[in-house]
A and B are shown apart, each in its own frame.
Chain A
């Protein structure tokens, strides 16, 4: 520690930083029409609206189970397919496995995909596949590839090259190297990321349901549009339950994988 670290000049810098930041926030809120008066007015309305949601219409609960099942199915189909494709994309996008042109192509494709929000993906896909769960599956598979493919590619680039070389020294082919030296090293990270992606996909599946892929999200939207807010509450509770359960499940599997480590 240097005594000059505590000089008044140093603190003056902090003060200037704070002033500039506050000014920026003020200008931004003025431009985006932030109005605390409106906030106060709206909070009254919001309270009435929240009142409309209660009591929940538990009668409709059994009718939500089917759609909830669809929501889970969409994620449960999209995640494994997406993970498998992501593995292929990851191998193609790893510097140490693939030639530069392939790496560049796949990396750009995945970056492009990550730039497109899932909602827009579904809106486009609905035009192609029509409304229905399949559209959701396709959208979430593509979204999973964009995220997991990049993570797998990065993980492959970080593996221990000496180990790969040592397996190459027994006369293994490129395919055997991938199977016995590359995959064992990236599998744990791929699986934990895939479990995390499953959680994300459940949440996204609820959202995408509202705009055309069906499931609990659609029920949520429908009940809102028909002003049946008591049903909406149940749909919200069911979606929360799904997200919560998915999180618990993926946590459990993840910790099992990390402890045991018995994967190949």
Chain B
């Protein structure tokens, strides 16, 4: 389904951010990636999405009807085709605040509809109905007409999940989806994600080992850009201590995980 092989990212100053990250995700899995800030969790996801270049290694993603995409090397139309099959949920939600909740959900289909139509008159009634169904699934149907900027964090994350569901992807990536939410909302979001995983695999980066132990089917731990654990989600205290015991360089790397490290959004400018 998704195969990450020997993913390596080295900066021009020699600093190694990812060092041979390798894992494979199959249907039905809910993979939680654990690791301290700056370990390389988000960066791995950005590499999978083709949002950043890699020094070495590759990501092979099985798209619709068995077509494979190497997201680390493809660009333009091919990359867009790969991306429309991956539903992404971010820590900061990143919804368009000036659009309504329903419009934000509909954005999930942009990759599948004619660009000219999406510019001129937008979406069909059928698509709107589907989007409403996705909102129902996350319990946000009553908010459909609201301006997204007026929602709370937990509500926005639900809308983001609805957008990803509406996108009908073949796999989900969730980059710290619960990191900026309170415990009650975090649990609620995990409960929404769990059933999705039985349909399409989810790869999520998390900071809460107790959450991954409860909801995930498998845990991958990254430390200083290297996979140090891959297996059962129930970790022992010793294992946890090892995961979060980074050397000092890890702290410095933390800033590089931020989404806008590169030149102003490469998404528009170069890809």
Which A residues fall within an 8 A CB radius of B?
A: 95-97, 99, 157, 160-177, 179-181, 184-185, 187-188, 261-264
Contact = CB atoms under 8 A, between A and B. Distances in A.
Nearest to A174: B268
Nearest to B91: A162
The secondary structure that dominates the A interface is: helix
Nearest to B85: A171
Interface string B80-124: 111111111010101111111001000111111001001100000
Contact of B95 (A163, A175, A263): A163
Given A96-B264, A168-B268, A170-B108, A163 B84 contact: no
Given A96-B265, A166-B88, A180-B110, A173 B271 contact: no
Nearest to B46: A165
A96 B268 contact: yes
A99 B264 CA distance: 12
The 3 closest A-B pairs by CB, nearest first: A171-B111, A171-B84, A166-B94
B268 A177 contact: yes
A165 B51 contact: yes
Contacts of B80: 171-173
Contact of B264 (A161, A166, A175): A161
Contact of A165 (B86, B99, B163, B267): B267
Given A168-B267, A180-B110, A261-B147, 17 more contacts: A160-B94, A162-B94, A165-B51, A168-B265, A169-B86, A170-B107, A170-B108, A170-B109, A172-B107, A173-B110, A173-B115, A179-B119, A180-B96, A184-B98, A261-B98, A261-B149, A264-B100
A184 B99 contact: yes
Contacts of A160: 94
A163 B115 contact: no
B86 to A, nearest CB: 7
A181 B81 contact: no
Of B96, B103, B107, chain A has the most CB atoms within 10 Å of the CB of B96
A170 B167 contact: yes
A164 B98 contact: no
A261 B119 CA distance: 21
- Interface SS of chain B: mixed
A264 B98 contact: yes
B111 A264 contact: no
10 contacts: A161-B260, A161-B267, A164-B267, A167-B96, A169-B49, A170-B111, A176-B118, A177-B268, A180-B103, A262-B147
Interface in B50-105: 51, 80-88, 90, 92, 94-100, 103
Contacts of A177: 267-268
Contacts of B110: 167, 170-173, 176, 180
Contacts of B82: 171
Contacts of B265: 96, 161, 164-165, 168
A133 B134 CA distance: 54
B139 interface: no
B115 A263 contact: no
A237 to B, nearest CB: 41
A145 to B, nearest CB: 22
B103 A264 contact: yes
B90 A170 contact: no
Contacts of A173: 80, 110, 115
A185 B147 contact: no
B255 interface: no
B96 A185 contact: yes
A171 B83 contact: yes
Contacts of B231: none
Nearest to A160: B94
Contact of B83 (A99, A162, A169, A180): A169
